[in-house]
Structure 1
Amino acid sequence: MRIAILSLAAAVLCMPAVAQPLPEPSSYPPVVGARGVITTHELSLDMAERIARAGIDQCRKMGYHTTMVVIDSSGTMKVFLRDDQTGPHTINLAQDKAYTALTLANRFATSLNFAKTRGGTLGTPMPNIRGVTTVGGGVPIKYHGETIGAVASSGAVGADKDEICSQAGIDAVAAELK
């Protein structure tokens, strides 16, 4: 009997809290920067093509045949160019390099340092992070500080050379990114 009375009392005491309407959304404390709609910038197909072409041209000047991949801010491939005499392995690797640059929003050194802190080395795949690699050659594409995509080259002898080609692609459109 005592348990029944205590249960009834608890239920009655909780009812006012359940029955009260939620406050109006305007009475919630504001979240800094949140308005319900987020404005972002998108990498155009035209710009992505020019970045990839300039990267291929730079690699050719250096004597390399490479694959260039440009991805948008969602990590989706926007442009893919594979130069003549380029190995098939460069396709997926270039995409992974670009995705790594986008995801970590930095260059090769960041991904390598990320791997080293987890016991990895150059070329170590990132466990549980599909598409992220420690092989350099990718560079994020930024518009007024916002990462809007990434570009990566694969096929030059050395990730540092791939990165030079990727950066050349961005340099070709630098005036439009300011």
Structure 2
Amino acid sequence: MTFFPAHALPKLRASKFVQAVIASTFVSGLSLAPIGASAQVQSKGYNLPLSLAVEAAQESLRACEANGYKVSVAVVDTAGEMRAFVKGDHSTVHTKTTSFRKAYTVATLGPIFAFDALGVFTEKVRTTPNASALASLPDVILLAGGVAIRARGEIVAAIGVGGAPGGDKDEVCAQAGLAKIKDRLPN
């Protein structure tokens, strides 16, 4: 415990008050500052319409259900934001995460590494020493089951499917979803 002489208390109280005002001003300023961890927002270029994202997700789900697979499907844009999600009847809880991560990986890394199918990329990086570094990135997953949606020659979104007995089967379902909307995407 610290003791102060009586004549120092008014100065101490003033300095504590000033410190409190400075601290509260600093904290208030933080709430106005942009946060670096916030998601990117696509501000130009083609934006996949919600109606096409939903249609692609539903067709991917339908293709998997026709084969008896209980899956979930996510459509993610290049900013890493989910545009559409469908969870099939009786699909397990982890399929939400895997479908998102597959779509996210294609949508965000596909433009950098020039791939349209996650299965192809996964095979390519399987033997490289960088695979573990890529897999350690948040929301990146190196499992087949995602395909790119291209418009005007660029990846604008991706479809990810999770839950079939093998990523190759997930990817076939994602391809079916892409095929359903492909002719309505701008060239």
TM-score of the superposed pair, with normalisation by structure 1: 0.72
Cα distance, 1:172–1:127 mapped onto 2, change above 3 Å: closer
CA distance in 2, matches of 1:115, 1:95: 21
Q: Which is further off, 44-53 or 96-105?
A: 96-105
Q: Is the 8 A contact 2:74 2:103 kept in 1?
A: yes
> Are the structure 2 counterparts of residues 44 and 161 from structure 1 closer, same or farther at C-alpha, using a change threshold of 3 Å?
same
The CA RMSD over aligned residues, in Å, is 1.8
Q: 1:73 to 1:131 in 2, by over 3 A?
A: same
Aligned to 2:124: 113
Point out where structure 2 has 5 or more consecutive residues left out of the alignment. Answer: 1-42
Query: Is the CA contact 1:104–1:111 (under 8 Å) kept in the aligned structure 2?
Result: no
Q: Which residue of 2 is the match for residue 48 of structure 1?
A: 53
**CA displacement at 1:125 relative to structure 2:** 7.6
1:140 aligned counterpart, secondary structure:
strand
Q: Which amino acid aligns with 1:70?
A: V
CA distance in 1, matches of 2:153, 2:135: 29
Q: Is the 8 A contact 1:75 1:102 kept in 2?
A: yes
Residue 166 of structure 1, CA deviation: 0.4
1:137 aligns with 2:145: yes
Partner Cα distance (2:125, 2:135) in 1: 11
Q: Is the 8 A contact 1:125 1:134 kept in 2?
A: no
1:92 deviates by: 0.8
Pairwise CA distance, 1:164: 0.5
Is 1:146 aligned to 2:154, yes or no?
yes
Which is worse superposed, 49-58 or 110-119?
110-119
Once the two structures are superposed, residues 35-70 of structure 1 have per-residue CA deviations (whole angstroms, 9 ceiling, x without a partner) of xxx841001110000000000110011111110000
The CA deviation at 1:140 is 0.8
Aligned to 2:143, what secondary structure does the other structure show?
coil
SS in 2 for 1:116: coil
Query: For residues 103-126 of structure 1, what are the alpha-carbon distances to aligned partners after superposition, in whole Å with 9 as ceiling and x for unaligned?
Result: 231222213422431265xxx683
| CA distance in 2: counterparts of 1:77 and 1:136, whole angstroms | 19
The structure that is helix-richer by fraction is 2
| Of 128-137 and 62-71, the range deviating more from structure 2 | 128-137
Q: How many residues align?
A: 138
The alpha-carbon distance between structure 1 residues 125 and 87, as it changes in their structure 2 partners (threshold 3 A), is farther
Match of 1:14 in 2: none
2:181 is equivalent to residue 176 of structure 1 = no
Task: Tell me how far 1:158 sits from its aligned partner.
Answer: 0.6
2:81 equivalent to 1:76 = yes
**Matched residues in 2 for 1:41 and 1:140: separation?**
14
Helix, strand or coil for the counterpart of 1:101? helix
What is the correspondence of 1:148-167 to structure 2 with a 5 Å cutoff? 148-167=156-175
